[in-house]
Amino acid sequence: MRQVSPHLIEIGTEHQALLEACLEKRSGCIIASNKPLKDMQQALAKQLVVESSDQGTCYLRFYSPMVTRALVDTQHNPTPSWPLADSLYVPHYHLNSWQCMPLNGVRQGITTTMHIQLAKQMQIQRTAYALRLSAAEGEISALTHYRFAQAVVGFAELTGVTFAEKDTWHSRLSDCLPLLSNIDWEAFFSDYQTPALALHALTVRTSQAEMLAPHLQERTHG
């Protein structure tokens, strides 16, 4: 296990090549802290293995940028958590640079119930990342990609959803997502808990948004 386990090292000027390799492979993270390295190691080690009620014992790959974002991004995760740090940096999605992830309001420690939320966040992040790779640069904002991914993952979790319904949902979203980017998808799927209800509600909201869009545009330019 030692050969494949994550490594924690104190970064110095001699590690420039390592940092560049991490950026190139989009792997690893930089943790800025005044705590001794031993304290950091112990805090992170406690989060490496977590218990999930549905999956049993799981390994939490906190050193993966995808997992790190799902853990601490307060814009997308309502219960952000990180073991110990003053600030945190992960490889940028598109640029060859390190992106700072704010830790304001981020609590320490990861609970059992949070692991389920984390798994969903990671699925949303993966879906959003795949959308960004397939879209033309600058065509859609990162937030719109994330909202699209929220809708895709949320719909897929509904009971009894068919492939045809998924395809219809995805197609409808592709046509109208810019008009619906302000929807709270968590609340949406809480209100519409079957594929049929969700599709109908989306159709209704889309029609309303499409009707309002020209008027909003006129008012903006008026």
Supply the pLDDT for residue 108. 66
Mean pLDDT of the chain: 75
Burial class (CB in 10 A: 0-12, 13-18, 19+), 183: middle
Cα-flanking dihedrals φ and ψ of residue 186, to 5°?
-60, -45
Instruction: State pLDDT tens for residues 118-165.
Output: 677 777 877 877 777 776 555 667 677 778 888 888 888 888 888 888
- Reply yes or no on whether the pLDDT at 209 is more than 70: no
Strand partners, 99: 90
Which DSSP string do the residues of 78-93 spell out, in sequence order?
Answer: SS-B-SS-SEEEEE-S
State both tokens at 221.
């330019």
Write b or e for each residue in 198-217: b if 16 or more Cβ atoms lie within 10 A of its Cβ, otherwise e: bbeebeeebeebeeeeeeee
Strands (E), 70-137: 87-91, 98-101
Residue 13, judged by CB atoms within 10 A of its CB (0-12, 13-18, 19+), counts as exposed
Give the closest residue to 185 by CA, choosing from 145, 218, 155: 155
Give per-residue pLDDT as tens, 42-78.
877 776 766 555 555 666 777 777 777 777 777 666 6
Structure letter (DSSP) for residue 14? G
pTM: 0.52
Instruction: List the single range of 5-14, 56-65, 88-97, 104-113 with lowest mean pLDDT.
Output: 104-113
